[in-house]
Structure formats: structure tokens, C-alpha cells
Amino acid sequence: MVAIIDSGIDYTVPLLRGRMWQNPGEIPGNGIDDDGNGYVDDVHGWDFRDDDPDPLCGTPLNYHGTFVAGLVAASVDMATGVGGVAPKVRIMDLRFLDSRGFFYRNDWDKLVKAIEYAVRNGARIINLSIYAKVDPPGFVCRAIQDAVRQGVLLITIAGNGGSRVRSLGCLPDVITVGAVDRTKAPAPFTNRGPQVDLAAPGVDVVSVVPGGVPVRSSGTSFAAPHVAGTAALLWALDKDLSPEGVAEILRLTADDVGTPGVDESTGFGLVNAASAVGFLVGSE
């Protein structure tokens, strides 16, 4: 299961409807915290922005989270080109960003709560396509370290400033992803640095937005979910893999692009889902 900490997901989109995580301990709509986890009616996750169980109620969704979710897990639609890397994986919706796709200094505690929720409720992967101009406070770093110790793989972005990696992407406990275009060249906007682990398509990629409309967009935010989806495929094949084991396979099977060898734009290279799955199947 992939937890998407983002701007919320339109779970009514047909290509996503069957991909949403269903909390097995919760009875929808009865107003009771059936599983005793502190969240009432949290069927698909929790809206930490509005502090309620339904991201479609309250403040409007930004398109970002639905777009990211589509890249991870949407059913394949040959007519539009929409389709997730892992179209059978379940996605947990943890809304964190506001209607403009932003968060603020006083929101770091919401991020920690979202991470903790994901870990407690069984997510194996957390996709963090979010960026800050400041370094995360210590309690956020500790929450990420705790998640990793409990067997969760965290994937985040290099950022879109065309400069150096900052914020969450600098943490040693995450996989940091840069963006490449269709020629496999680093996107002009992708941030660079020794922290970059992998690259993925992030220029003019297609996914869905709230309402189900297919659109194209660019950014390292949309590169990271390609890596999250590939990691989900690996865990679907071998549930006993450790986060370190998944990360190692992703690195070993990436296509070397850009400057030969590990480089600051694309890390170990362009994630290759087919090669990663082939490596795991061939080793069994």
C-alpha cells in the first residue's frame, strides 16, 4: 500500500475508485471511531488540512494529489494514456496541502501526524511530493526516521528550482527523485545534488485531476510517484523485502542516463519498472 501525503485525492474518479485503501476496521458514515485509532470514519485515510475524513468536503482540493495518485495506481486507459505504474496497488489518501497546493511553517505537525497515521495503518510506502524552502524541524526528521525503522520506504522530490536539493530531499532516510524529459535528459527545472538517488519521467506527463479529466503537467512531484509505483510492484512480488532491499533493487536496475555513472541530476539513473521486476523474478 502506498500512502500519498499530498493535497487530497478525488476518490470518485473512475480510474481511481477501485484503488483506494479501505480501512477494514471502520464502518463508513456511522460517526463512530470503530477501530479506536483516534479518527472517526477514516475509510480511505484522513484530511489533515480540514481535520475530517473526507477530502471532498470542506475546502476545495488542489489537483496535485489526484494527479500523483493517478501516476501511482490509476487503471490504464489506452484512449487517454492515463495509467499508473502499479494499477492494482491500494492508495491511502492523507491530505496535507491546502487548496493552492501549499503548506506553511505551522503545518509541520500535520505532516508528522500524517506520517504516523500511514505507519500505524499499514502503509509500506509513503510518497511525499511536497517541498519546503526551509529545512524540516527536528521532530519531523525523527518521525521520518521512526517510519523507516518500522519498515516504511519514504520517497520525496528533488524540487523544481533548477538549483540545489533542499528540505526533505536532503534527509538521509528518504529516496530523492529528480525529473527527466522524454529524451531521458534531466529536466531544466530539476534540482541537483549528491542527495538525488533516482530520476523518473517528470516532463509533460499525463494523469487525471479531480473530476477525472486527463491533463499533462511537469515537475519532480510527478517523477516521485513513478518510483513509488515501482517499489509497490516489488513488494507485491516479495512482501519480505526490506526497505533497504527495495531501494537497492531500484538503484541496481535503473538506466544510467545523463553523465555516465552516478550524477547529481539523475543519481543512479532512470527508474526502470520492468527491469526491477525482472531482477526480482529472476532471483527467485
Note the Cα 228 to chain centre separation in Å.
6
CA atoms within 13 Å, Cβ hemisphere of 155: 34
Predicted confidence at residue 283, as pLDDT, reads 59
**83-115 residues labelled b (16+ CB within 10 A) or e (exposed):** bbbbbebbbbbbbbbbeebebeeebbebbbbbb
Predicted confidence at residue 258, as pLDDT, reads 81
Strands 205-208 and 214-217: antiparallel
Kindly indicate the confidence band of residue 44, based on its pLDDT and cuts at 50, 70 and 90. Answer: very high
Asked if the model's pLDDT at residue 161 lies above 60, the reply is yes
Q: Which of 34, 181, 168 is nearest to 114 (CA)?
A: 168
Predicted confidence at residue 281, as pLDDT, reads 86
Q: Which amino acid is at 62?
A: N
Span 245-280, pLDDT tens digits: 999 999 999 999 988 899 999 999 999 999 999 999
Is 221 an annotated catalytic residue? yes
Predicted confidence at residue 99, as pLDDT, reads 97
Is 226 an annotated catalytic residue? no
Q: Are the C-beta atoms of residues 72 and 127 closer than 8 Å to each other?
A: yes
SS (H, E, C) 28-55: CCCCCCCCCCCCCCCCCEEECCCCECCC
Active-site choice (7, 42, 47, 64)? 64
CA atoms within 13 Å, Cβ hemisphere of 146: 14
Active-site choice (6, 47, 54, 98)? 6
Architecture in CATH of 2-283: 3-Layer(aba) Sandwich (3.40)
Mean pLDDT, rounded, for 2-22? 96
Mean pLDDT, rounded, for 194-199? 98
Q: Which of 276, 279, 104, 101 is nearest to 198 (CA)?
A: 276
Model confidence, pTM: 0.96
Is 6 an annotated catalytic residue? yes
Question: Which whole-number Å values give the CA distances from 37 to 57, 120, 126, in the listed order?
Answer: 21, 9, 19
Asked if the model's pLDDT at residue 30 lies above 90, the reply is yes
Compute the distance between CA of residue 223 and CA of residue 241 in angstroms, rounded to an integer. Answer: 23
Predicted confidence at residue 218, as pLDDT, reads 98
Span 102-141, pLDDT tens digits: 999 999 999 999 999 999 999 999 999 999 989 999 999 9
Q: Which amino acid is at 222?
A: F
What is the share, in percent, of the chain residues with pLDDT greater than 70? 99
Active-site choice (42, 221, 226, 263)? 221
User: For the chain, what are the domain ranges?
Assistant: 2-283
SS (H, E, C) the chain: CEEEEECCCCCCCHHHHCCECCCCCCCCCCCCCCCCCCCCCCCCEEECCCCECCCCCCCCCCCHHHHHHHHHHCCCECCCCECCCCCCCCEEEEECCCCCCCCCHHHHHHHHHHHHHHHHCCCCEEEECCCCCCCCCHHHHHHHHHHHHCCCEEEEECCCCCCECCHHHHCCCCEEEEEECCCCCECCCCCECCCEEEEEECCCEEEECCCCCEEEECCHHHCHHHHHHHHHHHHHHCCCCCHHHHHHHHHHCCECCCCCCCECCCECCECCHHHHHHHHHHHC
